Structures are given as C-alpha cells and as structure tokens.
Amino acid sequence: MELHRTPRWPQAWWWLALPAHLAIAWLWWRHGWMAGLPALMALHGVLLWGTLSPNARLFGPVLSQLPPDADGVWLTIDDGPSDDTPALLDLLDAHGAKATFFLVGERAAARPALVREIAARGHGIANHSHTHPQARFWALGPSAMRREITGCQQQLQAITGAAPVWFRAVVGHANPFVSAPLRDLGLARVAWSARGYDAVDGDVQRVLGKIAADLAPGAIVLLHEGAKHGRSVEIVTGVLDRIRETGLRTLVPGVAEDGVAADGSPPQPSPARGGGS
C-alpha cells in the first residue's frame, strides 16, 4: 500500500466540474428550474463536501490511516511550535515515544530553536501552512493557497535543512487549489482517524474517551499543542498512557523506495519506531 501519495492531476477536478455544469445547464434549459436547480444544488453540495470533509479525496489523495497491519499508531501534533513544545518533547522522551509535529511556518520562524530541537530528538516535522488562517483556509484562492503552503515549506526547510514531505490542511479543509502546490513540492496530504477535538475542548477525560474509541493498529491520532484551554500537555500525557495500555506503540513513518509513509526527516530506509507507548 503506497502511503505517500502526491497529487498527480491537480487540475482534474476542472474536467469533471465543467461537463457537470454544462449538463445541468442543459437540464435546466430542457426541463426548467424544477429539474435544474436541485441538480445544481446537489453538485455544489458534493463540491462543498470535498472541501470541508477532512478525509474527502475529491480534490486529491489524502491519507487518513496507516495499514491495519501496522503494529502501532501515528501520533501527530498540530499548530506548533508553542510554549508547550519543550514539555511535550520531554514527555515523549519519558514515554519512549515518537511523533510528527505539523508546524505553522510563521510560528516556526519565531522559534527556530524549538523546531531544530524537535528534529534533534528524532521526531518528524511537517507542513501545516504558513499563517494558519483557520477561518478562511477553505476559501483561499490559488495564489493565496500556494503562498500558505510554499511559505511554510521554505521556512521549515531553511531551519532544519530538510524539506517536509507531509502536509495537513488547516482544520482539515482542502479546496481545489491545494493539490497543485502539493504536487510541485512533493507533499502528501494527511488527515486522521482518531481525534478528540482537543484544540477546543479542555475536558481531558472527554477528549481521551473520544480518541480511545478509535485507537487501533494503523490509527493516525490528531492532537494539538498550545490550545487556549492550556491542557494540551495533559491531554497528550493521557493519550500516551492509553496507547501503552492498549499494547500499541508510536510510529514515525520514514520514506522508503517502496512508498512506505514519510515524515519530515531525511529519507529513511525503514520506519522509525518509538517505544512501547
């Protein structure tokens, strides 16, 4: 199973959307608005779903979980670097665990030492946009989208010397203009299969309950750092404990010639593994 898949035909959606709209125009002309309007709404509903659903593959490939025969889970931490980063790195070390940090470019520029420390401790570094425009990422045009993705990529490469190979869309939203810069930069999009809404929910037990329900071999776990509720480190601690209790381990996939997953570190001959967290 090839995990690291960059978009191959980023403009393919045009060739699907244009004939669909022409067909609806013909339907409207031939049968009137009572036939044409519902068809138009249905088509735009599909396009909206493709934009807002994190696991939707309408505009390009997205990885939402590892193969079920994987012997661990992929721990991913979004929105850093932040004040929480040093504590998270110590916590991961204490558990013998590894993670991939999806970093925001302008935040990385403000704290380059933390970015280098993440890499030095053997964790993955990945692209999570340059400014994290949470409210409008889904609606960015082609130029703005390219600036967000390319800006972060250049910043992280300048700090670490290595170009990330994974990208996570802000809030998981990915409109038709995401795929072209991903293809040009060799980035593959990552979603998740286990989440607890920890970026906004500070109730540790409630968050852990939601994540634990989806913890299984091959799960991609979505976590955050620097959340306003101030309990991100506590939540990650609880997740690591749950992972250990289930007998799983953490994985940071590495690039291999056979297409095994990739993290933000230089190419590896085989997946790097954390301890029995």
Active site residues: 78, 224
Q: Are 226 and 108 in contact (CB under 8 A)?
A: no
Phi, psi (rounded to 5 degrees) for 261: -55, 165
How far is residue 84's CA from residue 265's CA, in Å, rounded to a whole number? Answer: 21
Helix, strand, coil fractions of the chain, as percent rounded to 5:
45, 15, 45
Instruction: Show Cβ contacts of residue 124 under 8 Å, excluding neighbours closer than 6 positions.
Output: 98, 99, 100, 101, 166, 252, 263, 264, 265
| CA-wise closest residue to 178 among 50, 40, 19, 79 | 50
188 forms beta bridges with 166
Cα separation of the two ends of the chain: 25
Q: Are 128 and 104 in contact (CB under 8 A)?
A: yes
Question: Which residue in the block uniquely carries the two structure tokens 């906004």?
Answer: 200
Q: What does the chain come to in residues?
A: 277
Task: Decide: helix, strand or coil at residue 225.
Answer: coil
Torsion angle of alpha carbons 140, 146, 151, 156, nearest 10°?
110
